Amino acid sequence: MGRIYNFSAGPAMLPVEVLKEAADEMLDYRGTGMSVMEMSHRSKAYEVIIKEAEKDLRELMNIPDNYKVLFLQGGASLQFAMIPMNLMKNKVSDHIITGQWAKKAYQEAKIYGTANVIASSEDKTFSYIPDCSDLPISENADYVYICENNTIYGTKFKKLPNTKGKLLVSDVSSCFLSEPVDVTKYGIIYGGVQKNIGPAGVVIVIIREDLITEDTLPGTPTMMKYKTHEKEGSMYNTPPAYGIYICGKVFKWIKNKGGLEAMKAHNEKKAAILYDFLDQSKMFRGTVVKEDRSLMNVPFVTGNEELDAKFIKESKAAGFENLKGHRTVGGMRASIYNAMPIEGVEALVAFMKKFEAENL
Ligand code: PLP
């Protein structure tokens, strides 16, 4: 069997060029006689890999010098705890609840202090982004927390919330490097890499340097202090070395494609193919309000559970993998991250048209 179109929400497709290059280097990484997987993270060869990965990411995202880049472990979920442990000086955080991941981060923050819900779209199954122009920001909030792209529900903040001068902390796991961002608008911008960048487990934290202090909540484990990792250049302990190496390759792949502006154009083109079809279909419809639609995750339904199940079964047989929607939304979801080629989305739409013609 050849490669299929994998519409998984994550782990997700990686660029074929990257996978091939990694395969070529698997037994002998550039004359070292070993795989990067077998290499000491303290070796000269690995130092080049991690330094270059950071340099390329800085270039791609235009990360200012007063922001640190940390390659950490524990996935995005460990950040749900690390963020309050490191930032909650007043023990207050404000949260905008736009889905399950935002909620999990909020629930974790509650363990460490007073976490407030200042806006939510739960009333309509998270199918929109709440108005964030005039939020009831807490006077002593240490930060305002958002999940910028909601993987499960397919919504995206098109405009960042007005935090009234408070720090913004954003989980960009499912929109990382999908379009340009202004890093200076954030205190922390972070994400797990398993959707747009690399193998699961690695989380990249981009943090303004003045937020990295020894002044963490009492009891914060050494491994969960940003300071520990910043001091050691993400090498306090053995980093997820192979994962970071793949991330580095993906950064170069994006650079070669023209950077984040080019990624945005590529992603807009793909998303438009799918959304345009959904908007005129007599069988399928998108579940998100138009203005808040994600470029990365596209949930859709037929409105008939049996038909949804038939579609999922037949699409799988036709080589379209992982189109089943999250259990809280039902229906289908196509995740079309950076590495999904236009042809994949075109093929999916052609299949949907055929299915509609056969089943309407
Ligand atoms: N945040 C978002 C937006 C996600 O989509 C996910 C996982 O899919 C997570 C956080 C959790 O990531 P991890 O499994 O790396 O902890």
Q: Which residue, 210, 236, 256, sits at the end of a domain? A: 256
Catalytic residues: 101, 171, 195
- Same domain for 282 and 226? no
In a domain, 8, yes or no: no
Q: Is 171 in the pocket of ligand 1 (CB under 6 A)?
A: yes
Q: Which of 79, 151, 202, 333 to mutate to test the pocket of ligand 1 (most atoms within 8 A of CB)?
A: 151
CA distance 173 to 251: 15
CA distance 118 to 108: 16
- Same domain for 120 and 181? yes
pLDDT tens profile 249-276: 999 999 999 999 999 999 999 999 999 9
Q: Which residue, 216, 241, 256, sits at the end of a domain? A: 256
| Residue 75 alpha carbon to ligand 1 centre in Å | 7
Range of the domain at 124: 17-256
In this prediction the pTM is 0.98
In a domain, 293, yes or no: yes
ipTM field: 0.99
In the DSSP assignment, the letter for residue 324 is B
CA distance 163 to 316: 43
- Same domain for 45 and 175? yes
pLDDT tens profile 140-173: 999 999 999 999 999 999 999 999 999 999 999 9
- Count of domains forming the chain: 2
- Same domain for 142 and 169? yes
CA proximity to 174, closest of 101, 241, 115: 101
Q: Is 121 in the pocket of ligand 1 (CB under 6 A)?
A: no
Close Cβ partners of 119 (under 8 Å, ≥ 6 residues apart) = 96, 97, 130, 131, 132, 135, 161
For every one of its 360 residues, what pLDDT tens digit does the chain have, with 9 covering 90 and above?
Answer: 789 999 999 999 999 999 999 999 999 999 999 999 999 999 999 999 999 999 999 999 999 999 999 999 999 999 999 999 999 999 999 999 999 999 999 999 999 999 999 999 999 999 999 999 999 999 999 999 999 999 999 999 999 999 999 999 999 999 999 999 999 999 999 999 999 999 999 999 999 999 999 999 999 999 999 999 999 999 999 999 999 999 999 999 999 999 999 999 999 999 999 999 999 999 999 999 999 999 999 999 999 999 999 999 999 999 999 999 998 889 999 999 999 999 999 999 999 999 999 998
- Same domain for 226 and 274? no
Helix (H) or strand (E) holding 94: strand 92-97
- Same domain for 55 and 193? yes
Token representation of residue 30: 């550039």
Q: What per-residue confidence (pLDDT) applies to 94?
A: 98
| Residue 72 alpha carbon to ligand 1 centre in Å | 14
Burial class (CB in 10 A: 0-12, 13-18, 19+), 278: buried
Q: What per-residue confidence (pLDDT) applies to 319?
A: 93
Residue carrying the six token digits 């698997």:
26
Which domain CATH number covers 82? 3.40.640.10
In a domain, 73, yes or no: yes
- Same domain for 263 and 234? no
In a domain, 3, yes or no: no
Q: Which residue, 256, 272, 295, sits at the end of a domain? A: 256
Protein residue whose Cα sits closest to atom 4 of ligand 1: 173
Q: Is 180 in the pocket of ligand 1 (CB under 6 A)?
A: no
